[in-house]
C-alpha cells in the first residue's frame, strides 16, 4: 500500500510503498479515503512529540473496513468508518464515566 512516511526525526516526508498490515485481535484494517495532516505531524517530524520512526503521517482518517481481526463483532467489511484522535482512555475519570 502507499503511505506518507516520516523516515526519521527531521526527515523529509515521503510517499512510498509499505507492507499492508494485517489486523490483529480486536482490530480492523481500513482502506483510507481521506486523512488529515496538520501541525501535529510537523511536531512529530521535529521530534517535539516522542515517536518511533519510520512513522506513517496523518490522523483522523475516514475510509472503508477491508479486513477484520479475531474478536471483532461490532464492525464488518464494507463499513464506512472514521477514526478519532483519541483511541483509548482511562475508563475511570469523570469524562470516561459519562461516555464522553
Ligand atoms: Zn478518562
Task: State the CATH number of the domain containing residue 74.
Answer: 3.90.180.10
How far apart are the CA of 86 and the centre of ligand 1, in A? 11
Centre of ligand 1 from the C-alpha of residue 40, in Å: 22
φ and ψ at residue 97, rounded to 5 degrees: -65, -30
Ion ligand 1: residues, Cβ under 5 Å:
89-90, 93, 96
Rounded (to 5) percent helix, strand, coil in the chain: 10, 35, 55
20 pLDDT band (50/70/90 cuts)? very high
Ligand 1 centroid from CA 100, angstroms: 9
| 31-49 pLDDT tens trace | 999 998 889 999 999 999 9
pLDDT of amino acid 25: 97
55: its cell numbers: 512513522
Query: Mind listing the pLDDT tens digit for each residue in 59-94?
Result: 899 999 999 999 999 999 999 999 987 777 888 999
Domain residues for the domain of 40 are 2-97
Beta pairing class for 14-17 and 80-82: unpaired
User: Ligand 1 mean position to 74 CA, how many Å?
Assistant: 22
Grid cell listed for 5? 512516511
Q: How far apart are CA 57 and CA 60, in angstroms?
A: 11
Number of domains observed in the structure of the chain: 1
Local structure of residue 45 (DSSP, 8 states)? H
Amino acid at each position: 500500500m502507499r503511505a506518507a512516511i516520516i523516515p526519521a526525526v527531521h526527515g523529509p516526508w515521503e510517499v512510498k510503498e509499505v507492507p499492508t498490515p494485517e489486523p490483529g485481535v480486536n482490530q480492523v484494517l481500513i482502506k483510507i479515503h481521506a486523512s488529515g495532516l496538520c501541525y501535529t505531524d510537523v511536531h512529530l517530524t521535529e521530534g517535539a512529540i516522542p515517536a518511533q520512526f519510520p512513522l506513517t503521517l496523518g490522523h483522523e482518517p475516514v475510509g472503508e473496513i477491508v479486513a477484520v481481526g479475531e474478536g471483532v463483532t461490532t464492525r464488518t467489511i464494507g463499513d464506512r468508518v472514521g477514526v478519532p484522535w483519541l483511541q483509548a482512555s482511562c475508563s475511570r475519570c469523570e469524562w470516561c464515566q459519562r461516555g464522553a
